[in-house]
């Protein structure tokens, strides 16, 4: 076990740690000597990630297998981490349901909404109180550039990511002077298994290039070290975000609607 002293403590907890950005955060933090509590629903994938981290970086891991879209997961996570000195929370787990809202099953939309909003709220509230009490801690909430504006064909997803952005930015202000840093990370298109498993979605048609998950994780950790309220990952994503802000809400929506219409299959559109 590495007992190297860190700004935020000995252990980091990462949700959605099976793969993608979550796994990238785990790798980056393990390189720094953090022990990692990995949270996800796929036990075998978590074990594979844990074995890699332990052998490559000589750190400890703990696996917490839960479905974060289900109710009552906070109690399981709290019980499984009560004996750990967790000082860093990476609340990363999320999902999307691309397509016009009326073309996606309501149960899928509501399950995704809980995962993308309430789960982040519960984890941030629980660990935020612990961090405040200990006088130090770090929280990274993973949102999306989709949360910067209304995004047709991703309306529910964009709304949920806007919630994370506003929640985290407000918390960053509220926690000033407590020793607890809070940053919201907004990735754009990222090379993750979830994205690559959707060949019908022509994500390559978007003007922003797909970033590597490790590059996105590094951006988030660098921003947290400076206690930035939020950070957009990638120069092109920042340019597009600024352009959307200049256009205004309606024109920004229209711009993204036109872009997304070329990405989404015809059967997932209303017209």
**Which active-site residues does the annotation give?**
157
Give dist(CA 133, CA 136) in Å, integer: 8
Closest Cα to residue 21, out of 124, 94, 119, 73?
94
């Amino acid at each position: 076990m590495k007992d190297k002293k860190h700004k935020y403590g000995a252990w980091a907890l990462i949700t959605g740690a099976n793969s993608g950005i979550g796994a990238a955060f785990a790798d980056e933090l393990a390189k720094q000597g953090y022990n990692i509590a990995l949270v996800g629903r796929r036990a075998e994938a978590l074990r594979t990630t844990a074995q890699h981290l332990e052998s490559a970086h000589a750190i400890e891991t703990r696996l917490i297998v839960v479905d974060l879209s289900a109710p009552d997961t906070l109690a399981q996570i709290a019980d499984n981490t009560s004996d750990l000195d967790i000082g860093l929370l990476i609340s990363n787990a999320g999902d999307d349901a691309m397509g016009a809202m009326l073309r996606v099953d309501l149960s899928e939309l509501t399950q995704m909404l809980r995962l993308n909003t309430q789960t982040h709220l519960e984890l941030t509230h629980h660990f935020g109180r612990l961090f405040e009490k200990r006088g130090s801690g770090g929280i990274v909430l993973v949102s999306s550039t989709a949360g910067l504006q209304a995004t047709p064909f991703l309306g529910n997803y964009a709304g949920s990511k806007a919630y994370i952005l506003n929640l985290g930015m407000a918390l960053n202000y509220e926690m000033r002077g407590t020793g607890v840093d809070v940053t919201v990370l907004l990735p754009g298109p990222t090379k993750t298994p979830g994205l690559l498993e959707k060949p019908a979605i022509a994500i390559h048609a978007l003007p922003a290039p797909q970033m590597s998950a490790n590059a996105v994780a590094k951006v988030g950790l660098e921003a947290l070290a400076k206690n930035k309220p939020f950070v957009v990952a990638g120069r092109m994503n920042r340019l597009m975000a600024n352009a959307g802000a200049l256009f205004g809400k309606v024109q920004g929506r229209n711009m993204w609607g036109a872009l997304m219409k070329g990405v989404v299959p015809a059967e997932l559109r209303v017209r």
